[in-house]
A and B are shown apart, each in its own frame.
Chain A
Amino acid sequence: MNHRQRFAVVIVVFAASFIALAGRLVQLQVIDREVLADLAARQRLHVETLPARPGEIVDRNGRPLAVSVRAQSLFAVPNAIDDVDAFAIRISQAIEIDAAELAADLTRQRRKSFVWLRRRLSEPEEAAIRKLDLPRETWGFREEFLRKYPQGVVAAHVLGLRDIDGVGRGGVEQRYDNVLRGRDGRRVTRRDARGRVIDVRHELTELPDVGRTLVLSIDSVVQLFAEQELDALMARHAPQGACVIVIDVESSDLLAVASRPTFDPNRPAEADADAWMNRAVSAVYEPGSTFKPLVVAWALDASVLKTDEMLDCEHGVYRTGRRVLHDHHGYGELSVTDVLVKSSNIGMAKIGERLGAAELHRCVTAFGFGKPTGTSLPGEESGVVRPLPQWNDYSLGSIPMGHEIAVTPLQLIAAHAALANRGRFVSPRLVIRELDPDQSPGRAVTDRQRGPLQVASRVASPEVARWVIEEPMTEVVRRGTGKAALLREYTVFGKTGTAQKFDAQLNQFVNDRHVVSFVAGAPASQPKILVLVMADEPTGSEQAGGSVAAPTAAAVLRRTLLYLGVPYDVAPATASEADGQRG
């Protein structure tokens, strides 16, 4: 090989090397550019989620019902721990945790680099962990939000709670989770080979959006009245469950919704299994006699009944088709008022016959039964209203006395609120408005702030509704089954209800188990507040709505009216008489 040939070979080798290098360069810089850039970024950059602060829940006066504060959650890095047993013992010295269990847990997950030890530590726990001075690479804190419920058990079922992962469970926490949750942000940091932060990439950082604040229609003070009186009822009669609802008649704002058994949302682990049910919206029962005033109002409005009419109550025994109806006492002719005061089933059956099935079905649906009320609380039931074609010969007699249909307490009070509101049905409201995070909830709640989704319709004329409230329902409390609800300061109207429970095993209604209820409002001349008390299977000798539920309803009603400063409508002399009748 001569000199020229050797030079040519060198040139070719150099050229080939250059072409190979150029090709590799093209591969790295052009073809694999994105993949490699991503890989490099992943090694250098670390994306950290910035959790959004959940919005607050406040009552109608701006009092906090649910507030979030920051808390540290503790995690371990098992693959960096040399002596798992010693680590577990030291951790157990700072927080209440079983050392042996923790050691076993960490050993099982030895290869992992992240294991939660305890979420949302209290401040003393956090300080105790820091004091341990454990090797920095074996553990760490991560900041999370801890939901606090400053009022404790008050309105627990309405609020629900946030679970360990900050997701709303039950109540408005679940229903309005998307509003309260906000939007998480992210922070991008550049780290060195050992994972230490060099700088924060502010140009890539996205700030979190704080959740919106929910203003509820609940009044914490009225809610407290309801809770206290409900506790007293539970202590006196030990029912399986009970609930109290307080509603503002004009706006249909729910001022209080209390249910028993209950739980403390700050300590959900201690709750019994049956404490989660919100009986105000999930309990479905036959309303019994509390349903009767609604049918009377509908019949009067449909002109099939007159206020001054007398109804023959057949001395307590009435055959309708193959069925024989009985009253508790045998009555002859009763006025319409007395049919309700004496709670005559026969009188109501006769009113039902006059209305006919189609009109009765219209009555039931117009008052909002058979469908959710619109509060959209999780677990809300629709009740049971059978379609008209499924009604049978018994229905005309049963439904006017509150049988053959099933309702929730919230449906029932909403229907009665329509009567008290001069015949205008307004769907109950629980959430008044949503606010931006830094907007003050204020104190005044006016009609202009009413939510757009409230349904309003007329179910009875104002005259008929006023008569039913001021005559028969007032007389029920004055001289009927609701005497225990008489108040010195206010003219109370109401209706008791005592329904037998159905035993699925015996396949029949039983005499020794009842659902008792009482719906009451005041002042009768211009109703402001309506209260419903329902107790499921009270124990003891008292098994009637008038003796079990009426005293509780009266206590809640009185305290609420006085708290709201509603003027008295009973003259002092009349008040003394009322005392005498009650005493």
Chain B
Amino acid sequence: MLTRFEAALLIIVHAAIAGTAIEASILDERLALSQQHYRLEAARERVARLRIEAERLGGPALLMSRFEEGRLEARPASTGTSDPAPAGPLLRWRAVRGER
């Protein structure tokens, strides 16, 4: 009788300990998830600020005036009747190399 009672008690205690451990583990996971979220949010904040800074330094409004004043090099239209440059010069250069 006593053995049965002890066994039952043992099972109950083990179940309680296991439950507590699982609950602690879940809490740890939640905590890790929370911390991960805050790290991700910090990274997002940094990305957002860097994107704004990048636009401030190199946005179209700034670069366009430099480009139109000739301070930045212009890329000509790749093809066109009034464009003297042949299309695809890089590919042609490769073909010439291949012939050799």
Contacts and interface: CB of A to CB of B under 8 A. Distances in A.
Interface stretch (B11-19, B23-31, B88-96): B23-31
Interface in A544-570: 562, 565-570
B3 interface: no
A567 B30 contact: no
Contacts of A56: 48
B64 interface: yes
Nearest to B40: A438
Contact of B61 (A64, A70, A152): A152
Nearest to B77: A565
Interface string A189-230: 000000000001011010100100000000011001000100
A207 B37 contact: yes
Most chain B CB neighbours (cut-off 10 Å) among A205, A207, A210, A220? A207
Given A70-B45, A567-B81, A568-B77, A150 B26 contact: no
Contact of B33 (A70, A207, A562, A572): A207
A151 B48 CA distance: 14
A63 B33 CA distance: 31
B55 A224 contact: no
B80 A489 contact: yes
Contact of A221 (B44, B64, B78, B82): B64
Contact of B48 (A69, A152, A207, A575): A69
Interface in B16-63: 26-27, 30-31, 33-34, 37, 41, 44-45, 48-49, 51-52, 55-56, 59-61
Nearest to A561: B77
A572 B56 contact: no
B60 A224 contact: yes
Nearest to A489: B82
Interface residues of A, number: 35
Contacts of A68: 48
Given A150-B59, A489-B82, A570-B82, 5 more contacts: A68-B48, A151-B61, A205-B30, A568-B82, A575-B82
Interface string A46-57: 000000010010
A13 B1 CA distance: 41
A53 B60 contact: no
Q: Is the interface of B mostly helix, strand, loop or mixed?
A: helix
Contact of B77 (A202, A221, A566): A566
A210 B44 contact: yes
Given A210-B44, A562-B77, A151 B52 contact: no
A53 B30 contact: no
Interface of B: 26-27, 30-31, 33-34, 37, 41, 44-45, 48-49, 51-52, 55-56, 59-61, 64, 77-83
A302 interface: no
A568 B30 contact: no
Contacts of A63: 55, 59-60
A569 B83 CA distance: 11
A569 B79 CA distance: 10
A154 interface: yes
A64 B81 contact: no
B55 A64 contact: yes
A69 B52 contact: yes
Given A69-B52, A221-B64, A567 B44 contact: no
Contacts of B41: 53
A67 B52 contact: yes
B26 A571 contact: no
A181 to B, nearest CB: 16
Contacts of B81: 567-572
Interface in A50-91: 53, 56, 63-64, 67-70
Contacts of A202: 27, 30-31, 34
A67 B30 contact: no
A148 interface: yes
18 contacts: A53-B41, A63-B59, A67-B51, A150-B56, A154-B60, A202-B30, A202-B31, A203-B30, A205-B34, A221-B60, A562-B77, A565-B78, A566-B77, A567-B81, A568-B81, A568-B82, A570-B82, A571-B82
A468 B36 CA distance: 61
Nearest to A437: B44
A567 B52 contact: no
Contacts of A152: 61
Contact of A567 (B31, B33, B45, B80): B80
Contacts of A489: 80, 82
Contacts of A221: 60, 64
Most chain B CB neighbours (cut-off 10 Å) among A67, A154, A575? A67
Contacts of A210: 44
A152 B55 CA distance: 10
A568 B83 contact: yes
A53 B83 CA distance: 48
Nearest to A53: B44
Given A63-B55, A150-B55, A151-B59, A567 B79 contact: yes
B67 to A, nearest CB: 10
A56 B79 CA distance: 36
